A and B are shown apart, each in its own frame.
Chain A
Amino acid sequence: MIPKPVLSVTGIAKTFHGEGTSCPALADVSFDVGPREIVCIMGPSGCGKSTLLRIIGGLEIADAGSIQGVSGSGEGTASATMVFQDSALFPWLSVEENIVYGLRLAAQKMPEEEVRRRVTELLELIHLGPFAHSPPHELSGGMKQRVAVARALAIRPSILLMDEPFSALDIFTRRELEDEIQRIRNELETTILMVTHNPEEAVYLADRIVILSERPAMVSEILPVGLPHPRNPADPEFIRIRERLTLMVQGRPDREMCKTIPSASK
């Protein structure tokens, strides 16, 4: 029996309207994410991967389609939280205060002892206990991203959304964090949906890879990665899947680009 999906995305469409231009980003995107799955979204650059993730996270509204499994507002239990490419930590709060940020809001109504318990647990999980009271600007890029992951996990979301979370990191830190994500998934039974532009990262982490077509994006293929963990990027089977994935993602080089692409990345 197939378990009930944590997240069901059905027929999502989104068109951006600029000054005199309209730019269809997502045409008809549908896929499911099962419990404890790590699903990566890949596609040609500018195809609307981040937009899709932002719609699932409730930061943007779709023109059509439905998202089932995560509620856009309220109800701390069935929710999606996001880790951005830049950690987007609050620089005026310490590491610990950043992690508990979501828990102290009225929407979560968390009793203080539960807040304390979770922060201790999360600091241990991301190995940043000694830095609990440090301001974010004293941390390295990898450490900041760990804090962002802990902050997103603090409210125990039903799904963790990650938007190219490691793309600004050097290759060693990146691999370290990828392993950590794997470990966190196993320890906390977290379901993860990650946008990445790195085929190796997708094959290294994902149970399945959702490949989007060029804009306006549709799901062109869903690629299962059947390899056991821990995966070895030098393994011939790993390389074969990675190469296949790279070919599938590559778009035509001369595709038409919209003049204005609205985005909230500031």
Chain B
Amino acid sequence: MVLIKRQTIRDYGKGLAVVVLLLVIWECAALIINNNYILPTLGEIAEVLLHPFEPVLGGESLVANTLVSLKEVLSGFFIAAALAIPLGLLIGWSSEVQAYLNPAIQLLRPIPPIAWMPFAIAWFGIGINSILFIIVLGAFFPILINTVDGVLSIRIRWIEVAEMFHATTPEKLRTVVFPGALPRIWTGLRVSFAIAWMCVVAAEMLPGTTAGLGFLIMYAYNLGQLDVIGAGMVIIGIIGLGADMLFREGHARFFAWEGKE
């Protein structure tokens, strides 16, 4: 136990060392270039980050912009999950449904969500609805694919146990298929959240948006404020990392049984 802990600390140390090294290289480069239109110093970026509630560049504060992005990504993420999980259960359960839908899914899946943006604007106009559409598209497929895989990986025996007690099809889906596929669904959610987070920032950079981290970065770019861009990127990175850690922690906590049955 102590050994494991020591090993973990050592691994963290290694990772941290590289992060520190990158920061040092950044800072040295910034000092040498000495032009904050090309590379702001860490101090300048930190200066922006240290005033999270103050208006940035005459607009909303960092926190306000972050909340806008978070709200968008969470809405899109939940819509995608609500669509993809039931559909994935159905596809995994019925080879008939799979035969109908699989080719279309495989065809649509490789298209980057951002490529849909012109259509999205044409259909939904500029604004939140288009952004949501892009996020849902981005988050949808990883959840769907993982849900289908999760259902297909369920042990036949579990289904047989349900049959032995004369479970109805909805009961089988609710009491065996869904919980049995849940660890994989969770993995799908983790992957899709990361993609959704990238999508929201990219989508907010498009013309017509008025808030959000992507918007802030693009706005700061137009004004040549690279320290604000750096600050935005730091927030994006930290939130992405935090979400991933939460999902991993949840997986370890809820699905300790996985692979041990």
- Mark A residues whose CB is within 8 Å of B: 57-59, 73-74, 76, 79-82, 84, 86, 88-93, 101-102, 105-108, 135-137, 151-152, 155, 264-266
User: In the complex, given contacts A82-B160, A135-B257, A264-B157, what are 15 additional A-B residue pairs having Cβ atoms less than 8 angstroms apart?
Assistant: A57-B164, A59-B160, A81-B164, A81-B165, A82-B164, A88-B161, A91-B261, A93-B179, A101-B161, A102-B165, A106-B168, A107-B165, A137-B256, A137-B260, A137-B261
Q: Are A105 and B166 interface neighbours, CB within 8 A?
A: yes
Mark B154-187 against chain A: 1 for CB-CB distance below 8 A, else 0. Answer: 0111101111111110010001100110100000
- The interface residues of chain B lying within 8 Å CB-to-CB of A108 are 165-166
Q: Let me know if B166 and A264 touch, CB within 8 A.
A: no
Q: How far is the CA of A16 from the CA of B89 in the complex (A)?
A: 30
Instruction: Determine the residue in chain A with the shortest Cβ distance to B160.
Output: A59
- The count of residues in chain B whose C-beta lies closer than 8 Å to any C-beta of chain A is 25
Chain B interface residues (CB < 8 Å from chain A):
155-158, 160-168, 171, 175-176, 179-180, 182, 255-258, 260-261
| Residue from B157, B166, B182 in contact with A266 in the complex, judged by beta carbons closer than 8 Å | B157
Given A59-B163, A101-B165, are A90 and B179 also a contact pair (CB < 8 Å)? yes
Give the shortest distance, in Å, between B162 (CB) and chain A (any CB): 8
Q: How many A-B residue pairs have CB under 8 A?
A: 77
CA–CA, A137 to B257, complex, Å?
6
Q: Determine the distance from Cα of A90 to Cα of B167 in the docked complex, in whole angstroms.
A: 15
| CA A82 to CA B161, docked complex, whole Å | 8
Task: From A57, A59, A90, give the contact of B176 (CB < 8 A).
Answer: A90
Quick check: B163 and A264 within 8 Å, CB to CB?
Answer: no
Q: Nearest 7 A-B pairs (CB), nearest first? A: A102-B165, A107-B166, A91-B257, A137-B260, A91-B261, A88-B157, A266-B156
Cβ contact within 8 Å between A105 and B171: yes
Q: Which of B155, B165, B167, B255 contacts A88 (CB 8 A)?
A: B155
CB contact under 8 A between A101 and B156, given known A57-B164, A108-B165, A136-B257: no
By a CB distance below 8 angstroms, the chain A residues around B176 are 90
CB distance from A82 to the nearest CB of B (A): 6
Q: Is the CB of A58 within 8 A of B260?
A: no
Instruction: Give the CA-CA distance A213 to B244 in the complex, in Å.
Output: 58
Which residues on the A side are within 8 Å of B155 (C-beta)? 88, 266
Q: Which of B161, B176, B180, B182 has the most CB of A within 10 A?
A: B161
Q: Knowing A105-B171, A106-B168, say if A92 contacts B257 (CB, 8 Å).
A: yes
When C-beta atoms are compared, the residue in chain B nearest to A57 turns out to be B164
Shortest Cβ gap from A190 to chain B (Å): 16
Contacts of A93 in B (CB 8 A): 179
Q: Which residues of A contact B260 (CB under 8 A)?
A: 91, 137
